[in-house]
Amino acid sequence: MLNKKNILLGVTGGIAAYKTASLTRLFVKAGADVRILMSATAKHFITPLTLATLSKHPVMVDFFNPENGDWNSHVELGLWADAYLVAPATANTVGKMAAGIADNLLLTTYLSAKCPVFIAPAMDLDMYRHPSVTKNLDTLRSLGITIIEPESGELASGLTGKGRMAEPETIIYSLNAFFDAPFSGMHILITAGPTYERIDPVRFVGNFSTGKMGYALAETLAQQGAKVSLVSGPSMLNCKHPNIKRINVESAQEMYEECVKIFPSCEIGIMCAAVADYTPENPVNHKIKSKHDEGLILKLSKTKDIAAELGKMKTDRQLLAGFALETDNEQSNASNKLNAKNLDFIVLNSLNDQGAGFAGDTNKITIIDAKNKAIHYELKSKTDVARDIAEYLKKQLPETKSKHQNIV
Ligand code: CTP
């Protein structure tokens, strides 16, 4: 997808600038034409000679060459590019981009660019979580700029946390996904997080789901062009991508009501939420007192099975996927759920696999289809798992799309 694309790479002055050598190499290998702009400080971290050699074009730092008066036109560069990527983007450059300050070639080019803009921030963890930086990143996001999130790990300062520039492969993935956009024009429903079933105004029956897997999927599919409706139970997470519409719900019943409204306009539904199977039959609207010395019996009744209900509504232009978290007889339980709920495929994770399940940042999945064919994946970060699921979904698309075209 990057083949024959004109990529403008802006390198600013952070230690992660050293990674732009392999980033440039990956762009060139993918067939892209890469022109590089550097801030003056970036030259302390990597030499223009290295990047000029790898990109096969002179690197530009100043507006003109004082020796011969050659002019580097920021307007022409901005028009030439199919994408402008600033990597690494320091807190300083992020702040200037958000404020529209243009005191070097890299920034004037940003203001002239007509193409999509991507930034890969890199800074120390305290800088990254400073409210000023958060606000500047939000401003850039609201302007339609794609932020390629930094990763967590050891930082140049010796501290450990979020702020390390995304790996070159991840940056390439994001640009590829943008140009490829296999889900563009599609509406995808994703459920995520736990549900809370009220006992009284201060207590609920719930589970340990955080929503990480569903949110990672929403982000990945939105980056690949989908319009995503994310129906989320209570979760501390935020969605970043402007293509994601988040609908907050609390209980299984509320989640069900939102999903049945949204699903008919979707091509794909992915049921990622850990929905409560039972809900207190008689929630009360006053706080239950602690005086029940004989104990308390809570009667629970069945909730609606959202996946199964959508499975009944599903037309042949739609795909429906579910998740199964199992502790024993994993594969056969997952297949039974797939059949009972009329799903097209089910993503199985087993609590017996270390690193899989709720709350953690990793997952290990097996995808099982309606013909009982299973694909096993390695233990990966939830973002990488989301990409594997997106890749699998993409392969199912020609069928979905042609079904769609038959209907309209
Ligand atoms: N699901 C749902 N609504 C429910 C229960 C489950 O939509 N009330 C969905 C989940 O989002 C998931 C799939 O169904 O995609 C399987 O959920 P899981 O909790 O693993 O299975 P259950 O059907 O609830 O069966 P059990 O709890 O007995 O394993």
Q: Is the CB of 108 under 6 A from ligand 1?
A: no
- Residue 26 has a pLDDT of 98
Give, for ligand 1, the residue of 191, 251, 306 to mutate: max count of ligand atoms closer than 8 Å to Cβ.
306
Give the position, in ligand 1's atom list, of the atom nearest the Cα of 324. 20
Residue 86 has which token pair?
């600033």
Q: Give the 3-state secondary structure of residue 75.
A: helix
What torsion do the CA atoms of 168, 169, 175, 181 make, to the nearest 10 degrees?
A: -170
CB of 307 closer than 6 angstroms to any ligand 1 atom = yes
Give the SS3 label for residue 333.
helix
pLDDT at 357 (0 to 100):
67
Whole-number average pLDDT of the chain? 92
User: Does the pLDDT value for residue 68 go beyond 90?
Assistant: no
Ordered by start, the domain boundaries in the chain are 6-180, 187-406
Domain 6-180 identical in fold to domain 187-406: yes
Give the span between the Cα atoms of 116 and 109, in whole angstroms: 13
CATH level 2 (architecture), domain 187-406: 3-Layer(aba) Sandwich (3.40)
Residue 241 pLDDT grade (very low, low, confident, very high; cuts 50, 70, 90): confident
pLDDT of residue 160 exceeding 90, the answer is: no
H helix or E strand, kind and range, residue 246: strand 244-248
Least confident of 1-15, 153-167, 219-233: 153-167
Residue 81 in this model has a pLDDT that exceeds 60: yes
125 exposure class (CB count in 10 Å sphere: 0-12, 13-18, 19+): middle
Q: How far apart are CA 126 and CA 124, in angstroms?
A: 6
The number of beta carbons lying within 10 Å of the beta carbon of residue 121 is 30
Q: CATH class for domain 6-180?
A: alpha beta
Give whole-number Cα distances, 336 to 205, 308, 329, 343, 375, in Å: 26, 12, 11, 10, 17
Spell out the residues 6+ positions from residue 291 whose beta carbon is closer than 8 angstroms to its own: none
What is the tens place of the pLDDT at every residue in 260-317? 999 999 999 999 999 999 999 999 999 999 888 899 999 999 999 999 999 999 999 9
Q: How many CB atoms neighbour CB 196 within 10 A?
A: 20
Per-residue pLDDT reduced to its tens digit, 92-151: 999 999 999 999 999 999 999 999 999 999 999 899 999 999 999 999 988 889 999 998
